[in-house]
Structure 1
Amino acid sequence: MNLTKQALIDTITQELGASGTPISKTQVDAVLMRYSVVAARTIKAGGELPLPGIGKLKTIQRVARTGRNPATGAPIDIPAKTTVKLTVSKVLEETINEI
């Protein structure tokens, strides 16, 4: 099951309403948009960002390396870069791997 942004907003609104915390879809959308702004600012500054119940986002440095063009097999240089990594929480990992 994949969720679109709108489906995520609808689901959060329904879940909160069912638990006794009514909130509008506009408010949920505003919180998600503001969270993305805070996330970008925090990660850009080299910090870590918690995703409660999911894990943690943090930056990692990838070293420069030589790769291969899959179409031609020719070697190509891949430059070093900073990227974002998700470290999954233990609870989520255990939930996913339950038998």
Structure 2
Amino acid sequence: MKKVLLCLSLVFLLAACGTRHHDMVFENGHTSLPSESKYTIGSVEDESGYVFADDEESLDIAESMRIALVDELSEEGLYSEENSNYTIDLTVKK
């Protein structure tokens, strides 16, 4: 049951991310990146302050976002723990 709640919570969290404004900031001033680019995940912070009321194990929102992002990048062949071209830093906000 806890795994089901965790999965549902993660789906809810990822769905909510689609409704927010996302800013892409490139240090080199470009507006797009080469298609052969590889990414690693840098810092992931949770500034939302949201706590799941019925969650006995307290879901770590930042770690859940990190795992979901690594999974998505890996599926697209864009993730590389080593030898990456770019680092993604993520902040979850309310």
Same-fold status (TM-score > 0.5)? no
Structure label with greater radius of gyration? 1
Highest RCO, 1 vs 2 (Cα 8 Å, sep ≥ 6): 2
TM-score by length of 2: 0.29
Name the TM-score, length of structure 1 as normaliser: 0.28
